[in-house]
Structure 1
Amino acid sequence: MKAILRTQYGPPDLLQFAEVATPVPGEREVMIKLCAAAVNPLDLYLMKGAPWDRMPGLRRRKPMILGCDVAGRVEAVGKAVNGFQAGDEVFGVTGFKGQGFAEYVCVAEENLGPKPGNLTFEEAAAVPVAAITALQGLRDKGRIRPGSKVLVEGASGGVGTFAVQIAKAFGADVTAVCSTRNVEIARSIGADRVIDYTKEDFTRDAQRYDLILGANAHHSILDYRSALTENGVYVAAGGGLFQIFEVFVMAPVLSRMGRKKMGFFLTKVTRKDLDFMKDLLESGKVVPVIDRRYRLSEAAEALRYLAEGHAQGKIVLTVSQRLDI
């Protein structure tokens, strides 16, 4: 089968569109004929490697197929799999092992769910990591409630476009923060108020929020804290290394000082949450926003575009010959 192979750490130009062995499902795995996959920041990390991986003499040279968000049809199942059978349309994640930028992939049964019936395979592939990051950040870490005043920073990206819509589905009053070119997108997906960060700094006005989700955090953790209500919650779901490190170090301390809570989390995609998202998607309350589509062979170009940081929603790869099958 064809796949996008990382043979060494570095930029997208080093990736290979290569012929590799077709995988065989384990006892609890589902083998999928891929129709589409989505590009995520995790793929950039696995492509480039951590700083210590790139040090001379310490490089891990084991080839790896990138890709974690997938959608397609079940080709075969392991002997211990009970929930799926050949022909089922599914979507889900492969996790940190990658393997999703390929014609076939084997995925643990618990990391898959039935594809929403009203979505194309491309739209379904755009959902898992970004949507469930938004869901868990708002619902589990952010304790969102009907009527909550919620601010989503980075509202036009993959996580952000889902976060605005999911927050609205929970009955929240949503403020979206994005750049000038993305204001109309934020409005179109239901934001009650849109702040153009090139013209206005939300941390400096008088408005306070019950929940701030930093889908693409740019401010100091102290700025976010000052923008919260007395019992507000700040959840970091993305951003630069400095912002993530700052939250990791300071959030536990600041959360013990008063009733404002600050935190960071790692997304864990589960069948339960895939089913939850399936219901929201089939109801029309949430619609995937796709910026660009590429062929599987163009994965390097897709990753290059993602790295620029200007994507409006998700970037997807079409694995099958047709855009949807």
Structure 2
Amino acid sequence: MKRRQFLQKTGISVGALSVSSSFFPQNILKPMNTKPKPVAVATWNFQNATKKAGSMLENGFSALDAVEQGVMVEEANLKNTTVGDGGAPDRDGNVTLDACIMSPDGDAGAVVYLKEIAHPIQVARKVMEDTPHVMLAGEGALQFAIQQGFKKKNLLTESSEKAWKEWLEHKEYRPIINIENHDTIGMLCVDDKGDIAGACTTSGLSYKVNGRVGDSPIIGAGLFLDNEIGGAVGTGMGEAIMKSVGSFLIVELMRQGMSPQDACKEAVMRTVRKAPNHKDFQIAYVALNKAGEIGSYCIHKGFSYAKFHEGISSDNLSPSYLDS
């Protein structure tokens, strides 16, 4: 049966399929055009990363360049065992890295289960800009990185290897709330043109099952942005963030008129309402809208975030939390 015949038979007019714009809230239809002063914000107390990104923004660099270089600070930080070089391995001793990046035009790139490359965020950007794909994984991601000129490196440091071998003695597989065994750095930047970019990079859950991938490299989970509205990043228990597509949800809630703060809270509450065991894990979000407003919310006390704005670095910022 042809489409028009079907509509006539069922009594549905073609005109009835058209929905008036008045059906939708007006703020959904109108993009935010307010241009804020440059700002960089990141999950956790990574003030060196936000300082790097913020100083770049103040010197006229794009938001995309700033988020890439900003998170690379933590990828190179051997004392940070949750990101990049020196990251804690999986239970088999493999250091595997995940990362994603989004540009103001909505393009995105990601790598998952990447070994032996210290800066996965750079590889993710190469995927975004130099391939027709969004995500590369495992051996394919490594091969691509080498083809792009990246050098292989042993990422398992002496201290991380020692901690892993100590873990093998008891093999307790339970994430500890707000302890650096399952966290990441997610960053959002707005440049002097008012454009938003985001990046997210991690070594994932310490001593995870070999092959595990969390929310950090998943567009819409660990990171999402719409340059007309704003962006969001998530951290904590990646599986919970993936199940709610949390960052995408926050941006869509902001599109409907919610403030970054209210949108982050609602995203957390979506998980809380559906997860009876939410007291056993942490999830946290940070959001930034086109007006430069920042919001953050988490389940438990202890999460923090950092920002750089108008030459001022603010760290250890504490968001609202449920903690019930």
TM-score normalized by the length of structure 2: 0.26
Asked which structure has the greater RCO (Cα within 8 Å, sep 6+), the reply is: 2
Select the structure of larger CA radius of gyration.
2
TM-score normalized by the length of structure 1: 0.26
